[in-house]
């Protein structure tokens, strides 16, 4: 068990929460690992609260943006997921992993922005041309209509 996870457990037993000052002693990577452990252990609310505090502390950390973007999509908070994942993709630029494209595209689709989702998928396919999830998402989005307007006129 990580030191941060131990600190959270101790504070929970006392009925207290870990705050930004507590988190400031840890790296974004350590915080992300702890958030993942909390989610794995079914302590979703604590993970969400820790994610919010971490985002306040480290708003430009790729690790924090990635985990809080995933947390937002898990909560189905699509506007927040889109905001965080777009910022992450902007920071990662040409180094964006396929997961960023996949989760951002799905978040955009769920946020009822299929045209933008299609653009993200197409961009992702430029870097990962045969990635199964991106290919599948593109096929789905081609059939998806937004107020009776086709998502894309592209032919593939």
pLDDT tens sequence across 50-72: 999 999 999 999 999 999 999 99
84 within a domain of the structure (yes/no): yes
Query: What angle (nearest 5°) sits at the alpha carbon of residue 137, between those of residues 132 and 143?
Result: 135
Is the model's pTM score more than 0.75? yes
Q: Looking at residue 4, what is its pLDDT?
A: 78
Q: How many domains does the chain have?
A: 2
Tell me, yes or no, whether 92 and 35 share the same domain: no
Q: Looking at residue 148, what is its pLDDT?
A: 42
Tell me, yes or no, whether 2 and 66 share the same domain: yes
Rounded to an integer, the average pLDDT of 140-145 is 80
- Domain membership of residue 106 as a residue range: 78-145
28 within a domain of the structure (yes/no): yes
Distance of CA 89 to the CA centre of its chain: 10
Q: Looking at residue 146, what is its pLDDT?
A: 46
Query: Can you tell me the distance from the alpha carbon of 34 to that of 18, in angstroms, rounded to the nearest whole number?
Result: 12
Q: For the chain, what is the mean pLDDT?
A: 87
103 within a domain of the structure (yes/no): yes
Tell me, yes or no, whether 29 and 65 share the same domain: yes
151 within a domain of the structure (yes/no): no
């Amino acid at each position: 068990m990580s030191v941060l996870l131990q600190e959270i457990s101790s504070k929970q037993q006392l009925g207290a929460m870990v705050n930004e000052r507590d988190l400031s002693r840890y790296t974004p990577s350590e915080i992300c690992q702890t958030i993942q452990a909390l989610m794995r252990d079914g302590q979703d609310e604590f993970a969400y609260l820790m994610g919010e505090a971490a985002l306040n502390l480290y708003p430009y950390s790729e690790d924090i943006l990635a985990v809080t973007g995933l947390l937002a999509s898990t909560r189905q908070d699509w506007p927040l997921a889109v905001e965080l994942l777009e910022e992450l993709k902007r920071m990662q630029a040409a180094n964006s992993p396929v997961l960023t494209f996949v989760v951002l595209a799905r978040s955009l689709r769920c946020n009822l922005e299929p045209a933008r989702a299609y653009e993200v998928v197409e961009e992702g396919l430029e870097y990962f041309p045969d990635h199964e999830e991106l290919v599948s998402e593109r096929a789905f989005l081609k059939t998806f209509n937004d107020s009776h307007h086709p998502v894309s006129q592209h032919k593939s």
